[in-house]
Amino acid sequence: MLLTLTTTHRPATDLGYLLHKNPARPQAFDLSFGQARVFYPEASDDRCTAALLLEVDPVGLVRNRRGPSGEGFALEQYVNDRPYVASSFLSVAIAQVFGSALSGGSKERPELAKTPIPLVARLAAVPCRGGEALLRALFEPLGYRVSATRHPLDETFPEWGEGPYFTVELSHTLTLHDLLTHLYVLVPVLDDDKHYWVGDEEVEKLLRHGQGWLAAHPQREQIVHRYLKRRTHLAREALARLLEEDQQDADDAVEQRDDEEERVEQKISLNEQRLGAVMAVLRGSGAKRVLDLGCSTGNLLRRLLDEKQFERIVGMDVSHRSLEIAADKIHLDRLPPKQRERIELVHGSLTYRDKRLAGYDAAAVVEVIEHLDEPRLAAFERVLFEFARPKTAVVTTPNVEYNVRFPTLPAGKFRHKDHRFEWTREQFRSWAEAVAGRFGYAVRFLPVGPEDAEVGPPTQMAVFTA
C-alpha cells in the first residue's frame, strides 16, 4: 500500500517540515500491524513528493487478532487483501507517522500548516466498495479533482473482469491538515472493512477528524455508517451529535441555563412547580417505567428515584456534558446496586428513532420541544408518539404570552437564547391536538405556575394518553 503526497508550493521541500519528516532521510516505523516507511521519491524547490509505504504483516495480524476473523473462508485469516490495500491501517499509520500534521501543527512552519497549498494525494490500491461513483461522491463535494484507474481482478485473466481496486489521485488546494483528515476518515469508508473492533472511542475520532466538514457533507450518513462499521447505535450517536449542530450550544447552555432561565423565572420558583406538576401526573398515571427525555442535569430524575413507584427510569439527553453532571448529581457511581439498577442515562437525540425508548409506561418531555428546530419537531413527534409510544406523555413548554410578566425579560425576547420558538397557548394547543389526532392519543392541558387572568400560566403542559 502506497500513499504519496505531492506539492508544488515553493519551496516544495517545506513539505518535509509540514510532515515532520526530513526529505533527505528515509525512515521506518514499527506499527502493531506491520511496518511503515517514509521516503521522498522527489524533493526539489518546485516539486516535492513524500511517500508512505505500508507493509502489513498478515501473519502478525492473525497473531494479534487484528485481521479478518476468518469467518468468510478457512484461509481468510491468512489470505486476504489487507497487506496490499489502503484500509483503516492507513488511517492508523497516518495518525502515528504524521500525527502532528494530522492535527494541523508544524513546529517549523506553523503558518504554512494553516495555508491552503496545491496538494496531490495518490493512493494505490484503494478497495472501493461502491465503485468509482462512491469515490467521487465522497471526495468531489470536498473540492477534490478525482481521477481513478480501476484494476482488473487479475491481469493474466482479463475475463475475470474488474476488481474493486483503484489507483486514485486526488488534487486540491487545501491545508495538509484537511487533506490528511479527509483521508483518515474516508479511506476506511471506501474500504468498508475495518480491521479493528469499533468502540465508543471511534465515534470520538470520527467527530474529531470530521470537524468542520463532515456535518455538511452530502454523504454524511453513509460515511458515518461505514466508518463505524454499521454499528447502528454508534452511528446513531455520531449522526445525532453531528446533526445537532447546537450540541455545543447545548453543552454550553447547560451551565448558563440554570442561571439565565432561573433568573427570569425565579420569583415563583417555576422550576419547582413544573417538576412538581410533572411528578403529580406521572404518579397519577400509575406508570412504573418512565422516560425523562431531554433530562439535562437530572432534576426530574432525582425526584423519580426518590419514589418507589418508578421501577425503571431512563434519562436521555443530546448533551453529553449534561449527562455527566446528572450522573454526578445523582451520585450514580455510589448508588446501592438495587437503586443503580433502576436508573440509566443514555446519550441520544430525540429526533432519531431509538429502540431504547420503546416499552415505557410514561415519558416526560419537560421544556425540551422549544429547543428543537421546527423541521426536527416533526421527527421528534414520530420518535415519541409513533416509535417509543409510551401510554402517557407529559410535554411542557413556555407560554410566551406570560413573558410580559417577567420584569427582567426585555419585550419580544425568549426566556433562553437556545429556544427556537416559544408558543402562545393557542399555538401549543393546536400543535398538541394535531399530534394527538395523528398518532391516536387523547390530550388534555394543564396550567403550571400562577395563572394570570390575562396572559395565562407561565408554563403550559399537555398530557397525552394512548
The reply on whether position 350 binds ligand SAH by CB under 6 A is yes
Nearest to 260 by CA among 447, 398, 364, 363: 398
Contacts of 307 (CB under 8 A, 6+ apart): 279, 283
Contacts of 267 (CB under 8 A, 6+ apart): none
φ and ψ of 66, to 5 deg: -105, -10
The pairing of strands 145-152 and 442-448 is: unpaired
Q: Could you tell me the smallest distance in angstroms from the CB atom of residue 404 to ligand SAH?
A: 22
The reply on whether position 366 binds ligand SAH by CB under 6 A is yes
The reply on whether position 317 binds ligand SAH by CB under 6 A is yes
Q: Which of 13, 80, 181, 322 binds ligand SAH (CB under 6 A)?
A: 322
The reply on whether position 241 binds ligand SAH by CB under 6 A is no
Residues 292, 330: Cα–Cα separation, whole Å: 14
Contact stretch for ligand SAH (CB under 6 A) within 53-61, 140-148, 195-203, 292-300: 292-300
φ and ψ of 462, to 5 deg: -115, 135
The reply on whether position 323 binds ligand SAH by CB under 6 A is no
Quick note: the x/- pattern for ligand SAH over 91-120, rule CB under 6 A, is ------------------------------
Contacts of 304 (CB under 8 A, 6+ apart): 279, 282, 290, 292, 310, 313, 343
Q: Which of 6, 319, 399, 403 binds ligand SAH (CB under 6 A)?
A: 319
The reply on whether position 7 binds ligand SAH by CB under 6 A is no
Provide the angle, in degrees to the nearest 10, between the axes of the packed helices 176-191 and 200-209.
Answer: 140
Size of the site for ligand SAH (CB under 6 A): 18
Q: Could you tell me the smallest distance in angstroms from the CB atom of residue 365 to ligand SAH?
A: 8
Quick note: the x/- pattern for ligand SAH over 367-406, rule CB under 6 A, is xx--xx----------------------------------
Contact stretch for ligand SAH (CB under 6 A) within 95-103, 131-139, 214-222, 294-302: 294-302
Quick note: the x/- pattern for ligand SAH over 124-163, rule CB under 6 A, is ----------------------------------------
Residues 247, 261: Cα–Cα separation, whole Å: 19
The widest CA-to-CA distance across the chain, in whole angstroms, is 88
Closer residue to ligand SAH, CB minimum distance, 57 or 261:
261
Residues 398, 369: Cα–Cα separation, whole Å: 10
Report, in angstroms and rounded to the nearest whole number, the Rg of the chain calculated over CA atoms. 28
Contact stretch for ligand SAH (CB under 6 A) within 79-87, 203-211, 293-301, 336-344: 293-301
HSE-CB at 78 with a 13 A cutoff on CA atoms is: 3
Contact stretch for ligand SAH (CB under 6 A) within 14-22, 98-106, 290-298, 306-314: 290-298
Q: Which of 126, 168, 250, 462 binds ligand SAH (CB under 6 A)?
A: 250
Q: Tell whether omega for the bond before 133 is within 30 degrees of 0, i.e. cis.
A: no
Q: Could you tell me the smallest distance in angstroms from the CB atom of residue 48 to ligand SAH?
A: 47
| CA-to-CA dists, residue 437 to 168, 295, 359, 427, 432, angstroms | 54, 26, 21, 15, 8
Contact stretch for ligand SAH (CB under 6 A) within 129-137, 289-297, 427-435, 455-463: 289-297
Q: Could you tell me the smallest distance in angstroms from the CB atom of residue 425 to ligand SAH?
A: 19
Q: Could you tell me the smallest distance in angstroms from the CB atom of residue 234 to ligand SAH?
A: 17
Nearest to 32 by CA among 65, 8, 75, 77: 65
Our CA angle for 389, 393, 397, nearest 5°, is 130
The reply on whether position 18 binds ligand SAH by CB under 6 A is no
Residue nearest to ligand SAH as judged by C-beta position: 294
Q: Could you tell me the smallest distance in angstroms from the CB atom of residue 291 to ligand SAH?
A: 11
Contact stretch for ligand SAH (CB under 6 A) within 82-90, 182-190, 205-213, 346-354: 346-354
The reply on whether position 294 binds ligand SAH by CB under 6 A is yes
Q: Could you tell me the smallest distance in angstroms from the CB atom of residue 191 to ligand SAH?
A: 32
Provide the angle, in degrees to the nearest 10, between the axes of the packed helices 232-243 and 200-209.
Answer: 30
Closer residue to ligand SAH, CB minimum distance, 175 or 399:
399
- Would you give the DSSP letter of residue 449? S
Q: What residues are paired with 147 via a beta bridge?
A: 169
Sheet containing strand 27-31, edge to edge, reads: 27-31, 34-43, 48-56, 2-7, 117-127, 162-174, 145-152
Binding site for ligand SAH (CB under 6 A): 244, 250, 294-296, 299, 317-319, 322, 349-351, 366-368, 371-372
